[in-house]
Structure 1
Amino acid sequence: MNTVVVEERADRVVVTLAREKQRNAIDSDMISELHDVCALIERDPRVLILTGRGEHFAGGADINQLRRRTRDDALRGINRNLFDRIASLPLPTIAAIRGYALGGGAELSYACDIRIASATAVFGNPEPGLGIMAAAGGSYRLPTLVGVSVAKQVLLGGRLLDADAASKSGLVMEIVDDPLASAHTLADRIVKQAPLALKLTKTILDAPGSHPWADDIAQAVLFETEDKQRRMTAFLEKK
């Protein structure tokens, strides 16, 4: 791969956006390679940690390529389809963020389940200033993450959320000196949990609307697993 670095471990996949001179701007090659990463994780589900090389997570989409895109390109949902695929990965995804997460870079981070940031992190969606909109998930993920009012401040008012504002709005889990190290610590906790319980919990959480019947069905499936019996027996015996 030319635009990302992929580190595979037994329980997680670590992906580093690697166009440092371009502030890790997301171009067509990176989109293709991230699709390959998704295919890898779909075949062998593991936690995903996503970060950027250097001082920034991702400064946006590649503007040279965006300028050439047409109506038909927009209707293909080039970036949106990738980010939706990342959001749908079966196990939790973590974005470790330094510096800029702007435009498409911000939307990539919104597609992850959890964001951990350094004090230098800045989130924003300046797309209307370029004559377009945040159409790769910003309009429907950001309101869910931070509320409609803050989302409108970002998407309509051009507000940038620094790390402190992102933390107060609930966009990031924590502000730390080393987001990648903290992401690994979080992943260490996640992978100790039951994989099927994580998968079903994520599916239920991401499903729209109220769905208590789906919760009951998912719980019924989990109640019959050997993993549940083993874990609860171990807990009781330890007690």
Structure 2
Amino acid sequence: MTDRLVIVTQPEDGVVEAVLNRPDKLNAITPELMRAIADAQAEIAAMEGVSCVVLRGEGRAFCAGLDKSGFERMKSTGAGSLGMDIMDRTHGPANVAQNACWGWRMLNVPVVCALQGFALGGGFQICLGADIRIAAPGTRFSIMEMKWGLVPDMGGMAAMRHLARGDVIRKLTYTAEVFEADAAFDYGFVTEIAEDPLARARELAREIAGKSPSALRSAKELLNIADEEGGALEPLLAESRLQKALIGKPHQLEAIAAGMEGRPAKFA
């Protein structure tokens, strides 16, 4: 297996695969991985003969969320986990972190995501950018940012508002509850549950890729327009603005310290 953080395969019958490739770290998110996702999206967009993408994580998990080094950086410096100003719009309406989710949504072909093991925090938000999500039984999900004194800031709120009821999203956001594939399906976050989600995702991608390429691209554009009648910029900017106000402040630093030390947080 190559040491590339995101592997993009060559098109086969109109399908390419984008593979998160930090299996020893459960594909945990680093700044380098986020930038590699952006590079992979650009590479796929420039390819000829692509009608569908399979997005997956190598190894035991899709993505276990932010790498702990990101929390250590927040704790020691009060800076964001990416070492950048998250208010900067680097990818259309999104910053580079949000693009890890939103870039799949804006890609001009359908994206089918295969999920196994974990899709936690930022990993959950990344998968929400796909058009379709296929999960293995027992896959664990969480809107986990509240555990670390944060709010979801990788495009998740802009994406999930079209998938689940508002009260469900609020409960999961406020509690950082971990839930499994059956609940994710009931909530609307998962499209299908399959014993072998990658095999099913590949099967579905081949079926999609057999349709008219121009009609597929038009359909995705139309569906995105229908979903975003109010526009994506406002919720994406709000994510960044509210997150920036939390990062490095006493409550957030205490949440990180408590989480890293395995103790209850003590907020003044």
Q: Which category describes the TM-score, using the shorter chain as reference length?
A: 0.7 to 0.9
Residue equivalent to 2:85: 73
Residue equivalent to 2:38: 35
Deviation at 1:110, TM superposition (A): 0.4
Residue equivalent to 1:218: none
TM-score scaled by length of structure 2:
0.73
Residue equivalent to 1:217: none
Q: List structure 1 runs of 4+ shifted beyond 4 angstroms.
A: none
Q: 1:157 to 1:122 in 2, by over 3 A?
A: same
- Contact 2:112-2:131 at 8 Å conserved across structures: yes
Structure 2: give runs of 5+ residues left out of the alignment: 89-94, 231-268
Residue equivalent to 2:220: 202
Q: Deviations over 1:49-108 (max 9, x none)?
A: 111122211000223135426265322333113322221001100110001100110000
Q: Deviations over 1:160-206 (max 9, x none)?
A: 23110111122212111111100011011101111111111111111
Is the counterpart of residue 121 in structure 1 residue 124 in structure 2?
A: no
Instruction: State the identity as a percent.
Output: 30
Structure (1 or 2) with the larger CA radius of gyration:
1
Residue equivalent to 1:91: 109
Deviation at 1:5, TM superposition (A): 2.8
Q: Deviations over 1:110-150 (max 9, x none)?
A: 01110000012111111111121101112221121112121
Q: Deviations over 1:5-36 (max 9, x none)?
A: 33222312112212122111011221222122
Equivalence map 1:142-221=2 (5 Å): 142-207=160-225, 208-209=228-229
Residue equivalent to 2:254: none
Q: Aligned AA for 1:75?
A: M
TM-score scaled by length of structure 1:
0.81
- Contact 2:140-2:181 at 8 Å conserved across structures: yes
Equivalence map 1:10-25=2 (5 Å): 10=12, 11-25=14-28
Q: 1:209 to 1:35 in 2, by over 3 A?
A: closer
Aligned residues: 210
Root-mean-square deviation (CA, aligned residues, Å) is 1.8
- Judging by fraction of residues, say which structure has more helix: 1
How far apart, CA to CA, are the structure 2 residues paired with 1:170 and 1:12? 25
- Contact 2:51-2:216 at 8 Å conserved across structures: no
- Contact 2:7-2:40 at 8 Å conserved across structures: no
How far apart, CA to CA, are the structure 1 residues paired with 2:147 and 2:158? 19
Q: 1:67 to 1:73 in 2, by over 3 A?
A: farther
How far apart, CA to CA, are the structure 2 residues paired with 1:170 and 1:125? 14
How far apart, CA to CA, are the structure 1 residues paired with 2:11 and 2:33? 21
How far apart, CA to CA, are the structure 2 residues paired with 1:169 and 1:176? 17
- Contact 2:62-2:119 at 8 Å conserved across structures: yes
Q: Aligned AA for 1:187?
A: A
Residue equivalent to 1:2: 4
Q: Aligned AA for 1:84?
A: W
Q: Aligned AA for 1:89?
A: L
